[in-house]
């Protein structure tokens, strides 16, 4: 076992990556070698600095804010893993920051977010903490964080083989950076004079551990020449809903789907400097109030599956209730992190209820961006392997989600869908292939 440090292969001469300055992707190339890379040891490191405008002024004293829950992850739009030699895409995690907006609160405690993850990923538990500790400082803040995609979270086996002869021929990891308007938002919900805020990542590099097989094992692998590895892949999809009977359907083409989950946000808040585009909200109306979800149905080929009945929420019986739906929350957690294996989460009564509004409307409720415990935490989900087995087969049948909502006023809500499925990577000296 040995450690490696990989410099960003496409870094400019000043070693600064900035979406504003036209450097929209970071590429790291783990070279071909007779070794395995251990995926869960991979870390992306560097420093983050926030600026108020193109004059490189720090944002201190402004309304410029960063999503507290995701920290540096907010700057990662897409993470792509491919064979270095063959340039075949193995896994592509689109809307990665939106995925992390669901994954982090359901896999990390509040103590995690404000302790070790605050140091490694610059996360926080509230807007004031991340603004004072990351956004407003006149200087750079270091980070070193994992990439919890399906492939890079771990595989069934020793690791990812980097060999040209008995592996994938090196591993290339590309991170597409997010638009500044999606990363930053105003902590007052209004567009201020400082909407030109942008971020800059300096000295990006990747660290990891690689393992070289013993001589007798290496000799056997050289003779073998081919192989395969199985991993859990995260696929992402996007759709919008705008009616009282919302319907989402996708042809996944996946044979071993373990779970699926969805987070939502008013479409007008995406890439909007006045709003937090990484918030995970309930569907909302133009008036700024919650468009309550009364009923949820997950479908397979147009038929309810795995439940044979719709899930009726508490709001259906009591319009004035502000409590969360325990069944919805439980299924959402289970879809992101298996409920039986979940040991930490930061979803609380404070961030999973209905006591919030979109903006600064005259109400007893606070705006969504001031809610405690990392902000509003909500979504829907379903697990398909709860009773064992490899999950559900969606190769020939569409995946679907139906929701019945309150009366709609024409508001358009974005739905980010994430599907966890088992994939098999087959490799030999001639190339690699992903089998769903």
Tell me how crowded residue 139 is: count the other CB atoms within 10 A of its CB: 7
**Distances in whole angstroms, Cα of residue 219 to Cα of each of 34, 134, 157, 164:** 11, 50, 18, 14
What is the distance of C-alpha 234 from the center of its chain? 9
Burial of 100 per CB tally in 10 Å (0-12, 13-18, 19+): buried
- In the CATH hierarchy, which fold is given to the domain comprising 2-230? Hexon Major Viral Coat Protein; domain 3 (3.90.249)
Give DSSP secondary structure letters for 95-132: SHHHHHHHHTTTTS-HHHHHTHHHHHT---SSHHHHII
Averaged pLDDT, 190-204 = 83
Q: Where are the domains of the chain?
A: 2-230, 233-423
Partners of residue 415 on adjacent β-strands: 239, 264
Do 384 and 259 contact (CB within 8 A), yes or no?
yes
- Give the three-state DSSP class for 244: coil
Give the pLDDT score at 194: 62
pLDDT of residue 164: 93
- Tell me if residue 285 falls in helix, strand or coil: coil
- Statement: residue 215 has pLDDT above 70: yes
Query: Is domain 233-423 classified as CATH 2.40.128?
Result: no
Say what the alpha-carbon torsion angle 253, 254, 259, 260 is, to the nearest 10 degrees: -20
Q: What is the mean pLDDT of residues 384-395?
A: 85
Residue 389 predicted with pLDDT over 80: no
Q: What is the band of 192 on the pLDDT scale with cuts at 50, 70, 90?
A: low
- Mean pLDDT lowest for which of 97-101, 146-150, 157-161, 233-237? 157-161
Residue 193 is predicted with a pLDDT of 52
pLDDT score for 410: 85
Lowest mean pLDDT among 116-125, 313-322, 399-408: 313-322
């Amino acid at each position: 076992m040995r450690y490696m440090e990989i410099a960003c292969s496409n870094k400019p001469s000043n070693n600064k990556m900035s979406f504003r300055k036209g450097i929209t992707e970071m590429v790291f190339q783990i070279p071909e070698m007779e070794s395995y890379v251990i995926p869960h040891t991979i870390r992306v490191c560097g420093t983050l600095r926030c600026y108020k405008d193109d004059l490189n002024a720090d944002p201190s004293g402004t309304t410029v804010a960063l999503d507290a829950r995701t920290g540096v992850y907010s700057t990662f739009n897409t993470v792509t893993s491919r064979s270095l030699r063959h340039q075949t895409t193995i896994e592509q995690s689109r809307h990665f920051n939106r995925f992390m907006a669901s994954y982090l609160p359901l896999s990390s405690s509040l103590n995690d977010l404000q302790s070790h993850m605050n140091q490694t990923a610059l996360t926080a538990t509230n807007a004031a903490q991340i603004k004072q500790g990351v956004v407003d400082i006149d200087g750079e803040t270091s980070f070193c964080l994992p990439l919890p995609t399906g492939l890079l979270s771990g595989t069934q086996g020793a690791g990812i083989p980097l060999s040209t002869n008995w592996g994938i021929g090196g591993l290339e990891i590309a991170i597409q950076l997010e638009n500044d308007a999606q990363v930053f938002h105003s902590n007052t919900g209004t567009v201020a004079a400082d909407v030109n805020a942008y971020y800059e990542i300096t000295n990006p590099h990747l660290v990891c551990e690689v393992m070289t097989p013993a001589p007798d094992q290496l000799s056997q692998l050289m003779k073998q020449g081919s192989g395969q590895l199985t991993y859990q892949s995260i696929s992402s999809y996007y759709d919008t809903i705008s009616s009282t009977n919302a319907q989402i359907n996708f042809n996944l083409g996946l044979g071993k789907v373990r779970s699926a989950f969805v987070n939502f946000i008013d479409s007008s808040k995406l890439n909007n400097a006045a709003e937090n585009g990484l918030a995970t909200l309930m569907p909302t109306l133009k008036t700024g109030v919650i468009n309550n979800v009364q009923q949820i149905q997950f479908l397979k080929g147009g038929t309810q599956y795995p439940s044979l009945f719709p899930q009726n929420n508490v709001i259906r019986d009591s319009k004035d209730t502000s409590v969360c739906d325990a069944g919805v929350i439980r299924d959402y957690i289970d879809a992101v992190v298996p409920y039986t294996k979940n040991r930490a989460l930061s979803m609380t009564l404070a961030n999973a209820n209905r006591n919030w509004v979109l903006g600064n409307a005259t109400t007893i409720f606070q705006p969504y961006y001031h809610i405690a415990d990392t902000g509003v935490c909500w979504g829907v989900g379903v697990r398909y392997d709860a009773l064992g087995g490899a999950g559900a087969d969606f190769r020939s049948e569409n995946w679907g989600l139906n929701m019945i909502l309150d009366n709609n006023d024409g508001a358009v809500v974005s739905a980010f869908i994430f599907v966890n499925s088992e994939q098999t990577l087959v490799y030999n000296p001639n190339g690699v292939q992903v089998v769903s």
